Amino acid sequence: MKLKSLLFALSAAALISGSAFAQTPIIIKFSHVVATDTPKGKGAERFKELAEKATNGRVKVELYPNSQLYKDKEELEALQLGAVQMLAPSLAKFGPLGVKEFEAFDLPYIFPDKAVLYRITEGPVGKELFKKLESKGISGLAYWDNGFKQMTANKPLHVPADFKGLKMRIQSSKVLDAQMRALGANPQVMAFSEVYQALQTGVVNGTENTNSNIFTQKTHEVQSHLTVSDHGYIGYAVIVNKKFWDGLPADIRTQLEGAMKDATRYTNAIAQQENDAALDGIKKAGKTTVYALTPTEKAEWRKALLPVRKEMESRIGTEMLKAVDKETAALGYK
Ligand code: LMR
């Protein structure tokens, strides 16, 4: 009798743990550095919702915004090690990984508009760039939009001469380094999460970013001037640990790809309005003078920044630059 009840208890325990095992969801840790209330933050939330629904709860997406898990450089290492499964770093952060072609996206005034940009990211060039990540143990899933960058400082920035001697925070891109030097500033690479404090304490004097990042990081509270210059672009590559992704059951991977497609469409649709609303927010906060470059000033910026492309050509690769030129010409731009 005793043996019988022991056997019963054992088989009941096995059943419970067996079913618990069958229901254990696959966890995707998705880490990123920006606030939830941004194009990327909202895109990540939408992906979570769609992915969990599409897989009927077999996948659980855990979001870690605001660098709460890892900072810029660490998060790429964590992805390669498998400590997180998904990231969406800005395209400016792939150089240190050895994939320098991504830095083409950082060239000043390279895209006359977003239509040209989308031809790159959604076309063969975008796919080719993702292929280059494979040898690093990374698979690229999608490109997400943010928007064009503005400059901030504690003084007006109207002409290139205004940048002279300013310490400007940049992302880890050699093109951005060359851009700031071309303007006469001293670039300083710094993790996104450290920018607010660095501006507040004067470790750096200014920075560049999209309005949504400026507003949600409260940069406008520690910068008295913002110049609407639209001189460069910030967008993202949504990437996964390749081994993790390839090891998923095929049906789950397909469902997740569908969720990513829809989340991408959503993110790219809201990006511009998020940035427009953020600029309104910055203006309403009343702590920053917002100034839009005149056409003459913009021409001066372009002139000062033109040599950056030539200087960076051998780093980025002429193939990449030619591809951008081709798409630019295809839309009727010179
Ligand atoms: C930055 O570091 O300024 C941006 O790349 C942050 C982001 O992810 O938008």
Are the C-beta atoms of 150 and 208 separated by less than 8 Å? yes
Residues 162, 166, 172, 173, CA torsion sign: positive
| pLDDT at site 20 | 46
| pLDDT at site 80 | 97
DSSP 90: B
| Count of structural domains within the chain | 1
Reported as a single tens digit per residue, the pLDDT across 286-312 is 999 999 999 999 999 999 999 999 999
Which atom, in ligand 1's list, is nearest to the CA of 90? Answer: 5
Is ligand 1 within 6 A of the CB of residue 234? Answer: yes
Reported as a single tens digit per residue, the pLDDT across 265-289 is 999 999 999 999 999 999 999 999 9
Is ligand 1 within 6 A of the CB of residue 213? Answer: yes
Look at residue 14 and tell me if it is in a domain. no
Residues 6+ apart with CB under 8 A from 259: 47, 50, 51, 53, 54
Nearest CA to ligand 1 atom 3: 192
Look at residue 94 and tell me if it is in a domain. yes
Look at residue 2 and tell me if it is in a domain. no
Look at residue 303 and tell me if it is in a domain. yes
Residues 197, 199, 203, 208, CA torsion sign: positive
Is ligand 1 within 6 A of the CB of residue 172? Answer: no
Look at residue 279 and tell me if it is in a domain. yes
Identify the residue whose tokens are 């001697």. Answer: 165
How many other C-beta atoms can be found within 10 angstroms of the C-beta atom of residue 74? 15
Percent of the chain topping pLDDT 70: 93
| pLDDT at site 173 | 98
Q: What is the mean pLDDT of residues 93-121?
A: 95
**DSSP per-residue letters across 24-44:** PPEEEEEE-SS-SSSHHHHHH
- Specify the CATH number for the domain of residue 236: 3.40.190.170
Is ligand 1 within 6 A of the CB of residue 209? Answer: yes
Is ligand 1 within 6 A of the CB of residue 90? Answer: yes
